[in-house]
């Protein structure tokens, strides 16, 4: 199968394959430059996929590159950096935690968005997990991540002429990705077996290298398995309950076993959302089988497990009938059997729909500490799980999410920051003082860059439409609705995220006549760009998408509304960097945190949002806008507030220009948003906080627990 060094490379540049097979390249400027320079047309053609590039690039080009001094200079520098990153030397972790060089931390998540070439994510949770791993690598945190290799990934979206979402599941071609078989310390390909519904399901383990961090991906699509077993890891978040339960059994139980077979013995086990909560069951089972009492085993597991909950939306918390769980696990237990029932009771919770096996309840009861992902979300979670929280001693913390700055910063903004904040600004980016320097950037320069980023976005949208036309002869109307009529000088509002009811993609259409006036204002028009996928089972989300698509074709809106299909990491980059305003209007308090607005803000795109999730903490009064209907509430009141903010604040600030054509008031806000958001809502601040508040107390806990045992002896 797939292995590093698939094709002989000139010896002077033979480590190109090592670089291509370590996704660290994707967030390092020098490493990216290596592949851009190697073959720029191929870089574009493959949507930035070095593994594919190394297959396609011609021998002549490789020979030429191997003799090109300038190329070799950046190649050598990238390789040297990669070696340094893998060792973790000189990073934050060894300084902060001397003496903990040998430990590892396991991080379980059902999805990881690491790069567009590895489609193993559906939305924000996956992007967060991917950003978390990248930042852990940058900080030298010894993280080992565990997830799934979904053989069909998440679906690719196209839109029919009627505006209906069409889903295509393309099999994931492992040979075009940096996946390799993970190997045991003895050099064998790693496979584990998990008993599900009386059948031993074989699970292959793949490795994705991410600098200092290893990401292991479980895969049941292997020959030894029955058809239903092979399909278990086919797609993310299967709707069918039994299949979902089986997936989660594989993730939790298979994940623990995989790490053990690979020779890892994590000091802390971090469950990122409830999907992986069977980790708790498997670890307790092992301890009980080795002779510990259930009570003692539970204590040990709690002292080394932490849990992050990510959503207050009930559908985000998986529940199953207890009998179903028992039957799936019937052949899993060894002897003795008395304690199975007691163990499964850890998952029972009545959320108003009867006593069900609830993955969040299991994760909370199996963890010694838990956290929510913003201050507001902590309060909501406290209320939702009030009967269970005493288990964690009420220890529910709030650690607000953040975004990985090197991943989300636009190259043109990066260059500007290098000039005005210092060439090493990325090394110090979570230091708020550093950001005072953004005021030194001349308005004209920053405005120029902002304009060029909008131009990239519109060029990208045209290219996207051109592809649709080439592939499917999309109609002229479809090309127009896809954004080819957009105007680079108009105030551009972006809305890109999963299409789901609580995010209210249609809020801005509450008063269509008023919106039409805004879009058509002579000399100061507004335009709206939407993107996002609805879950395949979410009919409401799809109908909402369809209504927006139809409005794109409504002449009242004059071609100033567009819907760009197939939102993914690649599209998201252009969106959060290229719009002028980023709109976020979820139904409070359902957005636990939200991260797309952070990505926009660090690039100087102004955030216009209700005070939910992170914006309740991030809004300072001068770094963006608040949609706030004061004492009133509900869709109409909030839409009214949104229109007022647009009419009275955003539109005037954008269109008021000085003698050189610069919107000065606007630029002052752009600088405020970059200054306040970048350091505080970076993944760097977030990962450091997890280490300080969640990991280090647990590591202390392990040492204390083993000391107690020794005294007992």
Ligand X SMILES: *Cc1c(COP(=O)(O)O)cnc(C)c1O
Three-state SS for 495?
strand
Quick one: which of 301, 276, 304 has its CA closest to 360? 276
CB of 222 to ligand X, least distance (A): 29
Q: Are β-strands 355-358 and 268-272 bridged in parallel, bridged antiparallel, or unpaired?
A: unpaired
Q: Which is nearer to ligand X, 248 or 568 (CB)?
A: 568
Find all residues with CB under 8 Å of 348, minimum gap 6, and list them.
322, 355, 356, 357, 358, 361
d(CA 232, CA 218): 10
Q: Which is nearer to ligand X, 88 or 123 (CB)?
A: 123
d(CA 371, CA 377): 9
Q: Which is nearer to ligand X, 281 or 579 (CB)?
A: 579
CB of 77 to ligand X, least distance (A): 29
d(CA 295, CA 293): 5
CB of 127 to ligand X, least distance (A): 4
Count, residues near ligand X per rule CB under 6 A = 12
Binding part of the chain for ligand X, among 335-343, 346-354, 445-453, 593-601 by CB under 6 A, reads 593-601
Q: Which is nearer to ligand X, 93 or 172 (CB)?
A: 172
Among 50, 88, 119, 123, binds ligand X (CB under 6 A): 123
| CA distances, 302 to each of 267, 281, 297, 381, 701 (Å) | 12, 11, 9, 20, 10
Q: First CA to last CA across the chain, in angstroms?
A: 50
Residue identified by tokens 């991540």 is 145
Under the binding rule (CB under 6 A), the answer on residue 20 touching ligand X is: no
Residue 571's CB: how many other CB atoms inside 10 A?
20
CB of 407 to ligand X, least distance (A): 9
Under the binding rule (CB under 6 A), the answer on residue 407 touching ligand X is: no
Q: Which is nearer to ligand X, 26 or 305 (CB)?
A: 26
| CA distances, 351 to each of 317, 359, 479 (Å) | 10, 12, 46
Binding part of the chain for ligand X, among 8-16, 120-128, 330-338, 663-671 by CB under 6 A, reads 120-128
Residue identified by tokens 């497990």 is 305
Q: Which is nearer to ligand X, 38 or 616 (CB)?
A: 616
Among 568, 580, 612, 638, binds ligand X (CB under 6 A): 568
Helix H or strand E segment including 269: strand 268-272
Under the binding rule (CB under 6 A), the answer on residue 618 touching ligand X is: no
Q: Which is nearer to ligand X, 284 or 569 (CB)?
A: 569
Among 119, 525, 594, 624, binds ligand X (CB under 6 A): 594
Strand partners for 398: 372
CB of 376 to ligand X, least distance (A): 14
CB of 27 to ligand X, least distance (A): 14
CB of 594 to ligand X, least distance (A): 4
| CA distances, 28 to each of 186, 374, 638, 643 (Å) | 32, 29, 41, 40
Three-state SS for 394?
coil
Quick one: which of 251, 208, 237 has its CA closest to 121? 237
Quick one: which of 386, 379, 373 has its CA closest to 592? 373
CB of 241 to ligand X, least distance (A): 25
CB of 520 to ligand X, least distance (A): 28
Among 50, 88, 119, 124, binds ligand X (CB under 6 A): 124
Under the binding rule (CB under 6 A), the answer on residue 127 touching ligand X is: yes
CB of 572 to ligand X, least distance (A): 4
Contact pattern from residue 147 through residue 166 relative to ligand X, giving x for each residue in contact according to CB under 6 A and a dash for the rest: --------------------
d(CA 331, CA 352): 31
Under the binding rule (CB under 6 A), the answer on residue 497 touching ligand X is: yes
d(CA 208, CA 216): 6
Where do the H-state alpha helices sit in 611-695? 615-618, 635-644, 651-655, 664-680, 683-689
CB of 448 to ligand X, least distance (A): 26
Among 85, 493, 572, 579, binds ligand X (CB under 6 A): 572
Binding part of the chain for ligand X, among 331-339, 465-473, 564-572, 692-700 by CB under 6 A, reads 564-572
Would you say how long the chain is, in residues? 713
Binding part of the chain for ligand X, among 51-59, 119-127, 355-363, 621-629 by CB under 6 A, reads 119-127
Among 26, 595, 623, 673, binds ligand X (CB under 6 A): 595
Q: Which is nearer to ligand X, 76 or 501 (CB)?
A: 501
CB of 135 to ligand X, least distance (A): 15
Binding part of the chain for ligand X, among 273-281, 332-340, 466-474, 589-597 by CB under 6 A, reads 589-597
Residue 338's CB: how many other CB atoms inside 10 A?
9
Quick one: which of 26, 176, 54 has its CA closest to 115? 26
Burial 522-532 (b: 16+ CB within 10 A, else e): eeebbbbbbbb
Among 262, 569, 583, 678, binds ligand X (CB under 6 A): 569
Binding site residues, ligand X, CB under 6 A: 123-124, 127, 497, 567-569, 572, 594-596, 599
């Amino acid at each position: 199968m797939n292995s590093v060094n698939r094709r002989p490379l000139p010896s002077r540049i033979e480590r190109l394959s090592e670089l291509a097979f370590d996704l660290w390249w994707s967030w390092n400027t020098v490493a990216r430059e290596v592949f851009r320079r190697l073959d720029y047309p191929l870089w574009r053609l493959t949507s930035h996929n070095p593994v594919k590039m190394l297959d396609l690039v011609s021998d002549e080009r490789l020979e030429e590159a191997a003799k090109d001094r300038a190329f070799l200079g950046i190649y050598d520098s990238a390789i040297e950096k990669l070696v340094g990153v893998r060792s973790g030397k000189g990073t934050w972790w060894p300084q902060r935690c001397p003496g903990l060089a040998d430990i590892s931390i396991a991080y379980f998540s059902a999805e990881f968005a690491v790069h567009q070439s590895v489609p193993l994510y559906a939305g924000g949770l996956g992007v967060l997990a991917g950003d978390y791993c990248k930042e852990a690598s940058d900080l030298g945190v010894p993280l080992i991540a565990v997830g799934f290799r979904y053989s069909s990934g998440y679906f690719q979206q196209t839109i029919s002429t009627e505006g209906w979402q069409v889903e295509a599941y393309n099999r994931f071609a492992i040979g075009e990705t940096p996946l390799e078989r993970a190997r045991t310390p003895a050099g064998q390909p790693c496979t584990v077996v998990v008993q599900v519904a009386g059948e031993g399901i074989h699970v292959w383990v793949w490795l994705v290298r991410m600098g200092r961090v290893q990401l292991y991906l479980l895969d049941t699509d292997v020959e030894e398995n029955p058809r239903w077993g092979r399909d278990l890891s086919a797609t993310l978040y299967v709707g069918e309950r039994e299949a979902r339960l089986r997936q989660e059994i594989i993730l939790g139980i298979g994940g623990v076993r995989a790490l053990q077979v690979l020779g890892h013995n994590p000091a802390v086990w971090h469950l990122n959302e409830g999907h992986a909560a069977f980790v708790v069951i498997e670890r307790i089972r092992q301890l009980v089988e080795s002779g510990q009492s259930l009570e003692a085993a539970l204590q040990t597991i709690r002292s080394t497990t932490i849990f992050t909950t990510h959503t207050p939306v009930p559908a985000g918390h998986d529940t199953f009938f207890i009998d179903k769980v028992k039957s799936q696990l019937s052949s899993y237990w060894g002897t003795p059997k008395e304690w199975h029932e007691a163990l499964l009771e850890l998952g029972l919770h009545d959320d108003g729909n009867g006593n069900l096996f609830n993955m969040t309840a299991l994760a909370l009861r199996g963890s010694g500490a838990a956290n929510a992902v913003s201050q507001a979300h902590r309060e909501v979670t406290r209320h939702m799980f009030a009967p269970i929280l005493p288990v964690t001693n009420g220890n529910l913390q709030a650690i607000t999410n953040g975004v990985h700055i090197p991943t989300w910063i636009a190259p043109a903004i990066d260059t500007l920051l290098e000039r005005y904040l210092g060439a090493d600004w990325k090394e110090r980016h979570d230091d708020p003082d550093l950001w005072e320097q953004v005021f030194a950037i001349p308005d004209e320069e920053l405005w120029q860059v902002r304009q060029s980023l909008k131009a990239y976005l519109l060029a990208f949208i045209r290219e996207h439409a051109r592809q649709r036309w080439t592939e499917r002869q999309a109609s002229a109307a479809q090309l127009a609705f896809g954004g080819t009529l957009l105007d680079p000088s108009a105030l551009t509002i972006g809305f890109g995220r999963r299409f789901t009811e609580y995010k209210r993609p249609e809020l801005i259409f509450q008063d269509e006549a008023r919106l039409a006036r805004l879009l058509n204002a002579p000399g100061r028009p507004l335009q709206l760009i939407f993107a996002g996928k609805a879950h395949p089972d979410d009919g409401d989300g799809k109908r909402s998408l369809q209504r927006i698509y139809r409005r794109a074709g409504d002449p009242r809106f004059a071609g100033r509304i567009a819907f760009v299909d197939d939102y993914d990491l690649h599209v998201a980059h252009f969106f959060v960097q290229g719009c002028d305003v980023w709109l976020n209007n979820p139904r409070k308090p359902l957005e636990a945190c939200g991260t797309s607005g952070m990505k926009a803000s660090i690039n100087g795109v102004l955030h216009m949002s209700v005070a939910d999730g992170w914006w309740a903490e991030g809004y300072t009064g001068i770094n963006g806008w608040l949609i706030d209907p004061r004492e009133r509430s509900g869709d109409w009141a909030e839409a009214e507030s949104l229109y007022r903010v647009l009419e009275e604040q955003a539109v005037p600030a954008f269109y008021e220009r000085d003698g050189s054509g610069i919107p000065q008031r606007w630029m002052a806000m752009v600088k405020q948003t970059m200054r306040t958001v970048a350091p505080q809502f970076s993944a760097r601040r977030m990962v450091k906080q997890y280490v300080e508040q969640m990991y280090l107390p647990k590591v202390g806990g392990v040492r204390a627990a083993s000391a107690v045992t020794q005294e007992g002896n």
